Structure 1
Amino acid sequence: MLKDKDNSNGHMDISDSLPSLQFETALTAEQSLLLPLRSRAHCSTTGCLVSACYLVSVMNATRKEVFVAKNKTRAAQRIMQMGIDGDPAKIGIIGCGRLGRQLIKVLKTYSNVSNELIYVSTRRPESLSDFANAGMNVDFNNVWVASKCDVIFICCLPAVVNQICAEIKNHLTPDKLIYSFVAGYTAKKMANIMNFTNIIKPDFNWTDLSSKLPWSVAVLPSDCLGKKQLVEKFCPLFELTQPIVDDESEERLPVLPVFLDMHWLMRVVYACVNYATSQQVMSDVAVDIANKVFFQSVKMETTMKEILLEEHFHLPPESVATQLFETTESDHSTYLEQTNISMHQSTPAEAYFPYWDLTSVGSKVQLADVLKGSKSLRRAFIKRFSASFDKVIQF
């Protein structure tokens, strides 16, 4: 059993000194070989919850900045100065089993999501009476959640994902974001099913070295988020602070049994840019917002402005889901096309970003290279990542 002094997530296992109560006692030698999978699954679930909290944090920060940028009033400026969320996202959760319940817990605790902004669709809404009594919106209606919410987490079983996608696909607009935890379904596959590309799915990697790292499974994954030193290790850039152990492969000393990859991080950045674009925010303002949201500053030695403004020349064409301002003669124009037409009437097309296909945005982008190559930017990014959990984390 993993010793408490070695547990990377800092929790005590009360069965540590009681061999007869330990999980491994009843296992055969052959079954014991599979034990690392238990730690891997637990660490992956913890990573899913960390990634969800961070996403909601930066998305709400983006929405607040967009709200102020579009409302140049004293009231809007006062909201910014007081630290109040100007336009907080409504959070939808489709499927509320073991993962969904933990997701609600961490979003309320670490992302400061109020009860009235949480919408849950589950096959057994009566089992969530405690959530409903607390003021959350609970029902068995996937279309209702998709229509009402800005960020939609899909936590269902693979067996029902096609049915759910068919139900909600006609209720998704470009200002919405799908965040999938469905096993066996890549973001690209779900995008093809729903004909919707603003989708993120957290991807995890592991190596022979990382799989040997200690990890306690003695507590729920949601309880692991209370350790700041653990949480920041889930930031993909944190690994780059570790020494290289293999010069040929450039493999670095791992910090966790499993870890989020750079693809996920880049997609989170571009999801925020997509939202700003969908709200008719021009590209120069959008990158200032992104720079402030992800680095907590608009005065860095290297800003995101030049990087993002040139990025669409470096990303492959398939990364652009819809080019802005393309007019259409069809009577069945999409929401984004209609928005593009109205924007085009007053502003030149080059003033806005295209709408990025998040499923095609990976780690091979200029922004990723800049972050990897700059220690100061990495430190700022990791600091902002960790700060997402500062409001309630106990040190």
Structure 2
Amino acid sequence: MLEKVVPPSHPHVSQSHNPRIPVFKNVESFSRKLVPEKRTSKCRLTGLCEETQDDDALKVGIIGGGHLGKQLAHTLLQFVPIPAENLRISTRRPETLDEFKKLGIQCFYQNASLVGWANVVFLCCLPSQLPNICVEIQTRLGKDCIVYSFVSAIPVSRLKLLLNHTNILRPQYQCAEDLAHIWGANKEITAALQDPVIIQATCPYNPAGGISLNIKWLEGMFYALLNFCTAKDMPHSQVLRHLSELFPSQHLKACKKDEASPLKFQAQDFVSKIYAKNLSQKRPFPLFDLTAVQLKETPFSQYLSNSTTFQDRFTHLYYDSFGISLTKEQEEPEVSTGSPSQ
């Protein structure tokens, strides 16, 4: 079943916890911090704040209302949080989702309509249902709509063909051999994400939890964020500035004064040096092919691997987003052989 938290080769592991959700929560929160400034600037210039608000809002659609779709909806509502009016669910049995309807969430069975409205779509369907769903929605997908697939049996290269779309994210797992100690057994996702042990286990730079995500997935999430901002016509210099400032702002109290300066992302951390050199300050980043990002090396690949400063700041941001403090042992950085040029 799709709802399992590990690949199908391990069917006896609990379905209750999904390590993909916390990291999406953090990267999605970046977009919530970036977009409001664009909206505020537009309001000052045009006075059209009310008219532009809906266009700039993050609108999330879920295709599939089974166990996984329901837990995903609960998680987005509780931990991001997504306003109910910005979340919609399309399922063959909308009558089973009364609990969400009471919260003000629209639930229906219109996949194409959902995709035409949303700028982030989660596929929570069965593998056998996916081909027909792709036929339904592919002509309604905007090029900047991010499709996040929980259908583990279908590789991202196949999804690209089925959807005729490149803005796709699909996680890949690495599982420990000793499945008897997998964290999160028999817990609902919302309960699991309040457990400090599970938060530690799901942190991308702490693969000791039993099930970990390929770091290429985290890379894809950052490029997805850039695509989200590009779709809003945000200058790349503004995106880099906000992204740089975000990390220390979450944990300045945990840093020594001389270590509390912001990270300084540069354009060449995400694009080639030649492209970055010719990129004017007011131009957005290009729209990146997320399927290629997950399959090939990118400029950000080296940055993620080599920058211990980024790894430390991201870990603090991750823990802080769940209201959890790092222990002294957890705060000690690992030795790195190098760091990217800044």
TM range (shorter): 0.7 to 0.9
Q: How far apart in 2 are the matches of 1:295 and 1:360? A: 30
The gaps in structure 1 that reach 5 residues or longer are 1-33, 78-83, 240-253, 316-346
Asked if structure 2 preserves the Cα contact closer than 8 Å seen for 1:91 and 1:151, the reply is yes
Alignment correspondent of 1:273: 226
Q: 149-158 or 170-179: which moved more?
A: 170-179
Q: How far apart in 1 are the matches of 2:38 and 2:262? A: 24
Name which of 58, 61, 83 aligns with 2:33.
61
Alignment correspondent of 1:319: none
Name which of 270, 277, 292 aligns with 2:245.
292
Distance change >3 Å, CA 161–CA 296, structure 1 → 2: farther
SS of the residue aligned with 2:122? strand
Q: 1:109 and 2:73 equivalent?
A: no
Alignment correspondent of 1:217: 185
SS of the residue aligned with 1:304? coil
Matches within 5 A, 1:329-344: none
How far is 1:313 from its partner? 5.0
Distance change >3 Å, CA 260–CA 314, structure 1 → 2: farther
How far is 1:211 from its partner? 4.0
Q: How far apart in 1 are the matches of 2:97 and 2:83? A: 17
SS of the residue aligned with 1:370? helix
Per-residue Cα deviation, 1:314-341 (whole angstroms, up to 9, x for no partner): 99xxxxxxxxxxxxxxxxxxxxxxxxxx
Asked if structure 1 preserves the Cα contact closer than 8 Å seen for 2:248 and 2:262, the reply is no
Q: How far apart in 1 are the matches of 2:117 and 2:79? A: 22
Q: How far apart in 1 are the matches of 2:282 and 2:54? A: 30
Alignment correspondent of 2:66: 97
Alignment correspondent of 1:259: 212
Matches within 5 A, 1:242-391: 254-293=207-246, 296=249, 300=261, 302-308=263-269, 311-313=271-273, 351-362=283-294, 364-390=297-323
Alignment correspondent of 2:203: 235
Q: How far apart in 1 are the matches of 2:9 and 2:151? A: 23
How far is 1:283 from its partner? 2.3
How far is 1:123 from its partner? 0.4
Asked if structure 1 preserves the Cα contact closer than 8 Å seen for 2:240 and 2:265, the reply is yes
Asked if structure 2 preserves the Cα contact closer than 8 Å seen for 1:273 and 1:290, the reply is no
How far is 1:287 from its partner? 1.9
The gaps in structure 2 that reach 5 residues or longer are 1-7, 251-259, 325-342
Asked if structure 2 preserves the Cα contact closer than 8 Å seen for 1:119 and 1:136, the reply is yes
Asked if structure 1 preserves the Cα contact closer than 8 Å seen for 2:237 and 2:282, the reply is no
Distance change >3 Å, CA 173–CA 307, structure 1 → 2: same
Q: How far apart in 1 are the matches of 2:37 and 2:323? A: 20
Q: 1:226 and 2:188 equivalent?
A: no
Q: How far apart in 2 are the matches of 1:314 and 1:200? A: 27
Per-residue Cα deviation, 1:327-369 (whole angstroms, up to 9, x for no partner): xxxxxxxxxxxxxxxxxxxx97994422110011147333332
Amino acid at match of 2:266: K
Name which of 146, 154, 172 aligns with 2:123.
154
Distance change >3 Å, CA 37–CA 125, structure 1 → 2: closer
- Root-mean-square deviation (CA, aligned residues, Å) is 3.6
Asked if structure 2 preserves the Cα contact closer than 8 Å seen for 1:291 and 1:304, the reply is yes
Q: How far apart in 2 are the matches of 1:196 and 1:111? A: 26
Per-residue Cα deviation, 1:27-65 (whole angstroms, up to 9, x for no partner): xxxxxxx997533x547x421333443343233233334
Alignment correspondent of 2:164: 195
The structure that has the greater radius of gyration is 1
Q: 366-375 or 154-163: which moved more?
A: 366-375
Q: How far apart in 2 are the matches of 1:261 and 1:138? A: 33
Matches within 5 A, 1:109-148: 109-148=78-117
SS of the residue aligned with 1:173? coil
Name which of 6, 12, 20 aligns with 1:38.
12
Q: How far apart in 2 are the matches of 1:259 and 1:348? A: 38
Alignment correspondent of 1:47: 19
Q: How far apart in 1 are the matches of 2:39 and 2:249? A: 17
Per-residue Cα deviation, 1:217-265 (whole angstroms, up to 9, x for no partner): 23223320112442243232x23xxxxxxxxxxxxxx411110121111
Higher RCO (CA < 8 A, seq sep 6+): 1
Asked if structure 2 preserves the Cα contact closer than 8 Å seen for 1:283 and 1:352, the reply is yes
How far is 1:138 from its partner? 0.7
Q: How far apart in 1 are the matches of 2:47 and 2:315? A: 32
Q: How far apart in 2 are the matches of 1:136 and 1:109? A: 14
Distance change >3 Å, CA 176–CA 122, structure 1 → 2: same
Q: How far apart in 2 are the matches of 1:124 and 1:195? A: 27
TM-score calculated relative to the size of structure 2: 0.76
Asked if structure 1 preserves the Cα contact closer than 8 Å seen for 2:172 and 2:213, the reply is yes
How far is 1:171 from its partner? 1.4
Residue identity over aligned pairs, in percent, reads 24
